[in-house]
Amino acid sequence: MPSPLPRPHADAPVRRLTRGDLVPCADLCEDRGWPRDELRWGLLLSAGTGYGIDDPEGKGLMAACVLTSYGQGLAAIGMLLVAERYTRQGIARRLMGHVTGDTSLSLYATESGRPLYEELGFETVGRAERVIGHFRPSDASSDGVPTAGAVTVRPAAAGDLHAMLRLDTEVFGADRTHLLARLPAFADHLRVAEDDGELVGYAAIWPSERIHAVGPLIARDTDTAKALVTSLAKATDRPLRVDIDARHEELLSLLKECGLQADSGTTVMTYRAPELPGDWTRRFAPLTVATG
């Protein structure tokens, strides 16, 4: 039965966040048991638009989220967080009401967040499975050496960006130039896959606490995706974390054979859109679930 008590913070003012809010955003993540990831917040607040509600007690932020727009009436919502001491007071709903305008939206929902999104009219269109662990290659492939299908994986160069953007727009279904142009500075390692001089995939790893997160992972097929992950794994001693579209069952099985273990899952949801654009068969993992 709903509580008859008033919700004093449900109408708290929402403001735009800036890079000056990096530490309060990271503090909010830590409050909810998430990695602080100030680097990721820096990317999100540069390429997207952050919204927040200040704590009336002067203790940083009460709540925050980020909207990353891709043009063509599409945007992704991520990092919707409410401080533990202010949960169940209608604050998340207030923040979502502020950002859900006329644009079609997508997001990756945790199990705890999904009921709210369903109440707001979001519909389930898919699922992502997160796997984590130390990657142990099951073959002898290495950087610069052709793998199955004559694909060669190598470190990305500045001259690859145009081809990456062209491939990404085709696969993602929208222009992410404003996001991917920041990828070389954001990622610790960036790889591309080529077949006879044609770029057929790319992937990156970026730091998140004591692990390396894999994303984006764009590839023409499962073998190419595995070759990219294998190359990236050889560049780090940290465990890997990757959120794989659950429809890519073969890649998930291969990653588990190489030492990664199932950790958690998220539900892919949309608002005012029957499905996500682009070609899911080549879209294996997002840059981060916060960017869609």
Q: Is the pLDDT of residue 285 over 70?
A: yes
Burial category of 102 from C-beta neighbours within 10 Å (exposed 0-12, middle 13-18, buried 19 and up) = exposed
Looking only at Cα atoms, what is the longest distance across the chain?
67
Confidence of residue 141 (pLDDT cuts 50, 70, 90): very low
CA distance 190 to 188: 7
Query: Is the separation of the CB atoms in 227 and 193 below 8 Å?
Result: yes
How confident is the model over 70-124, as pLDDT tens digits?
987 899 999 999 999 999 999 999 999 998 888 899 999 999 999 999 999 999 9
Q: What is the mean pLDDT of residues 50-77?
A: 93
How confident is the model over 1-32, as pLDDT tens digits?
444 444 556 677 899 999 999 999 999 999 99
Comparing 146 with 275, which gets the higher pLDDT?
275
Comparing 255 with 1, which gets the higher pLDDT?
255
Angle at the Cα of 183 from the Cα atoms of 134 and 157, rounded to 5 degrees: 90
Q: Give pLDDT, residue 218.
A: 98
Q: Give pLDDT, residue 7.
A: 53
Q: Give pLDDT, residue 73.
A: 85
Q: What is the mean pLDDT of residues 236-259?
A: 98
What mean pLDDT value characterizes the chain?
A: 92
Q: Is the pLDDT of residue 146 over 60?
A: no
As a dihedral over the C-alpha atoms of residue 84, residue 85, residue 88, residue 89, rounded to 10 degrees, the angle is -130
Place of tokens 């966040």: 17
Q: Give pLDDT, residue 219.
A: 98
Confidence of residue 287 (pLDDT cuts 50, 70, 90): very high
Q: Give pLDDT, residue 100.
A: 85
Report the 10 Å Cβ neighbour count for 26.
Answer: 20
Q: Is the pLDDT of residue 54 over 80?
A: yes
How confident is the model over 211-227, as pLDDT tens digits?
999 999 999 999 999 99
Contacts of 185 (CB under 8 A, 6+ apart): none
The 3 state secondary structure assigned to the chain is: CCCCCCCCCCCCCCEECCHHHHHHHHHHHHHCCCCCCHHHHHHHHHHCEEEEEECCCCCCEEEEEEEEECCCCEEEEEEEEECHHHCCCCHHHHHHHHHCCCCEEEEEECCCCHHHHHHCCCEEEEEEEEEEECCCCCCCCCCCCCCHHHEEEEECCHHHHHHHHHHHHHHHCCCCHHHHCCHHHHCCEEEEEEECCEEEEEEEEEEECCEEEEEEEEECCHHHHHHHHHHHHCCCCCCEEEEEECCCHHHHHHHHHCCCEEEEEEEEEEECCCCCCCCHHHEEECCCHHHC
How confident is the model over 150-183, as pLDDT tens digits?
799 999 999 999 999 999 999 999 999 999 999 9
Q: Give pLDDT, residue 2.
A: 43
